[in-house]
Chain A
């Protein structure tokens, strides 16, 4: 499992991401490389809560809960939350403002595949 931390550290610096965290779906931070101003435990709780909320919203609005990702845009950048391992984990990626959305999506996709394989 230490391999997962290495993957996170490597991709974060390689792709110049602001932060990456792998969480359990109930909000426990498993591996993280987050900016100093982010408190990992609180972030994990909020991110997992947001995923649960988004899933519920999707269920209510579209009658299904097969959620691909949740994207939150702000002036400071983007937060992308994606389910992993049948929804048991949540990948959270913070991207900088100057990164194009398509580029962020591609990075998140690659990261998901890599982590999914490493977690198995």
Chain B
């Protein structure tokens, strides 16, 4: 039985200018060595990669793939990916890699088509375009949390208390249900020192305000659920042409994934009208009141709904791309917090008391985000949120 790590099997063919490989397994961080061997191997001018045996590609894997494809292109070797599953095709299109897909035009991307661009480096403090938030040794820190649902309030409150005890300093907990990126850029000086933010909000904080990514919830990625009312007789996406869709924010991974998921399923998302309600629970309310036909919602939030609400909805489709995640960020000028938090947070899952707090927060643990994952997320953010919108979102001009 295959253990899930990536294996490549060459397939015999007649054409001496081309070779095919059958790929089996998952393309993730562990795929690096297999892909590196491919990049260095003697190859003809064209290679075809058959993805029919690939179960999934996550953001680390996509970064490895992109690196491999770049090396092959430098060697003037043409790469073509065939038989990728729906999620992998969606991931390729989202990240501007659709030209590698043999069947890339089967479900063309609608107006959210993304321009190809060079992947930006992950931000560092030196590149911060905004001045550091001055250290205030004596004052208490502010910890802003983008709550995914009001049910998590208690867990995060206990987490804040835990941090105060462990860091021996006063920390003011600021739960937030609003999109952080929509905070008036003029209010940058009032930013919190610690922020737990949604993926694109975290990108805006990193690129626009010089925040540093510190931790991400272990193994937890942002996926989208597409919901309809339980009493809606339509049970396939194609029947929802011209429909009304509610979602929390247009500058979110949930919205982006939702639209790509629709496009990939053959429903042109540009034909739909979108209502941005500010909060997911409000979007859900619009659905239940019959004011919209469909809702894009963070899968994590859907899973934590009460049985009452869940029974009133029907899950039509769901993404599984393992690409984006929430990030705990620290403000520029607060490097002193890094070392203690880097030690403290991953160890929370090792002790009974702190494990209970993690459970109440609905997360398994903390882990530092890998550089490649951050780069991929930032690339997606910059590709999607561009021009004036980027400036509005981050508070700085687009490069």
Contact = CB atoms under 8 A, between A and B. Distances in A.
Interface of A: 24-29, 41, 44-46, 48-49, 52-53, 55-57, 60, 85, 88-89
A41 B281 contact: yes
Contacts, number: 58
Nearest to B177: A45
A86 to B, nearest CB: 9
Contact of B309 (A26, A46, A52, A53): A26
Given A25-B308, A27-B149, A27-B150, A53 B284 contact: no
Contacts of A48: 150-151
Contact of A26 (B154, B158, B281, B360): B281
Contacts of B285: 28-29, 41
A65 B158 CA distance: 17
Contacts of A55: 154
A24 B308 contact: yes
B307 interface: yes
Q: Could you say which of B151, B177, B284 has the most chain A C-beta atoms within 10 Å of its C-beta?
A: B151
Contacts of B151: 25-27, 48-49, 52
Contacts of A49: 150-151, 153
B157 interface: yes
B306 A45 contact: no
B305 A26 contact: yes
A24 B153 contact: no
Interface in B297-335: 304-309
Contacts of B157: 53
A88 B153 CA distance: 18
A85 B309 CA distance: 13
A29 B281 CA distance: 10
B147 to A, nearest CB: 8
A24 B154 contact: no
B307 A52 contact: no
Contacts of B308: 24-25, 85, 88-89
Given A29-B285, A45-B177, A53 B153 contact: yes
29 contacts: A24-B306, A24-B309, A25-B151, A25-B306, A25-B308, A26-B150, A26-B304, A26-B306, A26-B309, A27-B149, A27-B150, A27-B151, A27-B281, A28-B284, A41-B281, A41-B285, A45-B150, A48-B150, A49-B153, A52-B154, A53-B154, A56-B154, A56-B158, A56-B360, A60-B158, A85-B308, A88-B307, A88-B308, A89-B308
A46 B150 contact: yes
A44 B282 CA distance: 10
Contacts of A25: 151, 306, 308
Contacts of B360: 56
B155 interface: yes
B288 interface: yes
Interface of B: 149-151, 153-155, 157-158, 177, 279, 281-282, 284-285, 288, 304-309, 360
Contacts of A88: 306-308
Q: Could you say which of A26, A41, A48, A53 has the most chain B C-beta atoms within 10 Å of its C-beta?
A: A26
Contact of B150 (A29, A52, A56): A52
8 residue pairs, one from A and one from B, having the closest CB atoms: A49-B150, A56-B154, A53-B154, A25-B306, A49-B153, A88-B308, A26-B306, A52-B151
Given A25-B308, A41-B282, 15 more contacts: A24-B306, A26-B309, A28-B285, A28-B288, A29-B285, A41-B281, A41-B285, A45-B281, A49-B151, A53-B157, A56-B154, A56-B158, A60-B158, A88-B306, A88-B307
Contacts of B309: 24, 26, 28
A53 to B, nearest CB: 4
Q: Could you say which of B149, B154, B282, B284 has the most chain A C-beta atoms within 10 Å of its C-beta?
A: B154
A46 to B, nearest CB: 7
A53 B157 CA distance: 9
A48 B284 CA distance: 15
Nearest to B277: A41
Contacts of A45: 150, 177, 279, 281
A100 B1 CA distance: 71
B172 to A, nearest CB: 17
A41 B283 CA distance: 11
Contacts of B306: 24-26, 88
A29 B308 CA distance: 12
B155 A56 contact: yes
Contacts of A53: 153-154, 157
B281 A28 contact: yes
A51 B304 CA distance: 15
Nearest to B155: A56
